[in-house]
Amino acid sequence: MTTLATEPALLTLTDVSKHFSIPSPRALRPTERKVLRAVDGVSLSIAPGETFALVGESGSGKSTLGRIAVRLSEPTSGTVTFSGQDVTHYSGRQLRRLRPRMQVIFQDPLGALNPRMTAGKIVAEPLQAIGGLRGSALDDRVDELFRAVGLDPAQRLARPRTLSGGQRQRVGIARAIALNPDLILADEAVSALDVSVQAQIANLLDELRENLGIGYLFIAHGLPIVRQLAQRIGVMYLGRLVECGPADEVLRNPRHPYTRALIGASPVARRRARRERVVLAGDPPNPLSPPSGCRFRTRCPQAMDLCASQPPPTVEITPGYTAECHLLQ
């Protein structure tokens, strides 16, 4: 989307890194620690009412980046700007004021919902704690939220255990939209659901985006669902954002060899569409000791000598579309 230039961004991450210091596996001396660069110099921005999808393999840093984006964790360096405010180092009371505007939907709804509470109580909790609603106003709002996510208000008394997977995820979504957030982090929110239910929830998320103008940071590993929902895509590999641009462009004409491999490896439920299966050599390298130069070079079919010695430049393909690869120069 080209809204970027005209509209102020909802969320901007600038050169964000998150490093974890972990004990070196071989050392018996506890002083010897290694640095894991889970996220390393990532910049991206999300416009209001836009779905930005982060894709990549497990361990690529997508969830870590997502947690930084909603300030569940503080970046090691870089800045997080949320509707014009620098929220990078917010803490305590400041964060608490920010929370209603950024919410999270998790992958496993059963784990994210308190088993002892009824669905109605779960949705009502943020309304009481932060919205300050009570009595019939609270009841009405909960009913309204239930209907907004396609649940029967009669199910307010049900506990998470007795609901189906799709219904649980709807409860999680109702809770997330209760305080009219501007940004929702959906971390693999549809990945654990069966396909028929996944489509229902995906449609619901998209409908809420259109009606309520919510922006999503949508973390997923399945490309087809990302294509359906996202306006823009960021592809992560070992902590780096290797390609970032408009969803249709990135999926139709990927510039980075890793994005091409991801697309080629995605199974397609059409017989005629069976393509040459791209099989990447090996597994992702250990993030504790990433390869020199380009981090993807050890698995890249097009790696050159240059890739080992120098990190690839960030190349702007069109405004708002970047990729990191030596081949693009």
Partner 1 sequence: MRAQRRKGPASAVVDGVSFSLNRGETTCVVGESGSGKSVTARAIMGLTRLEPALSVSGEIWFDGKPLHQMDNPSVARLRGRDIAMVFQEPMSSLDPLFTVGSQLTESLRRRHGKLPNQNLRTRLLALLSDVGIPDGERVLRSRPHELSGGMCQRVMIAAALAGEPDLLIADEPTTALDVTVQAGILALLERIRTERGMAVLLVTHDMGVAAEVADQVLVMYSGRIVENASADEVFESPRHPYTAGLLSCVPALEGEKPSVLPTIPGSMPSPEQRPPGCAFHPRCARSADRCSTETPLQTQKPGLEYACWNPIEPTFLPMPTADVPTHTAQAPKEDAR
Binding site for partner 1 (CB under 8 A): 57-58, 164-167, 194-200, 202-203, 206, 221-225, 227-228, 251, 261-274, 277-280, 283-284
Reading the block at residue 32, the tokens are 């010897």
SS3 148: helix
> What number of residues does the chain have?
329
In angstroms, give the least distance from the CB of 264 to partner 1: 8
In angstroms, give the least distance from the CB of 207 to partner 1: 8
In angstroms, give the least distance from the CB of 42 to partner 1: 20
**Burial zone of 97 (CB within 10 Å; 0-12 exposed, 13-18 middle, 19+ buried):** exposed
Helix (H) or strand (E) run with residue 117 in it = none
In angstroms, give the least distance from the CB of 243 to partner 1: 15
CB nearer partner 1, residue 81 or residue 200: 200
Query: Which residue has 């439920």 as its token pair?
Result: 269
Q: How far apart are CA 99 and CA 39, in angstroms?
A: 23
CB nearer partner 1, residue 171 or residue 263: 263
CB nearer partner 1, residue 116 or residue 272: 272
The DSSP string of 263-316 is: HHHS--S-STT--PPP--SS-PPPTTSPPSSSTTTTT-TT--HHHHHSPPPEEE
Helix (H) or strand (E) run with residue 13 in it = strand 11-23
CB nearer partner 1, residue 183 or residue 201: 201
How would you classify the pairing of strands 232-237 and 33-46?
A: unpaired
CB nearer partner 1, residue 207 or residue 316: 207
In angstroms, give the least distance from the CB of 183 to partner 1: 23
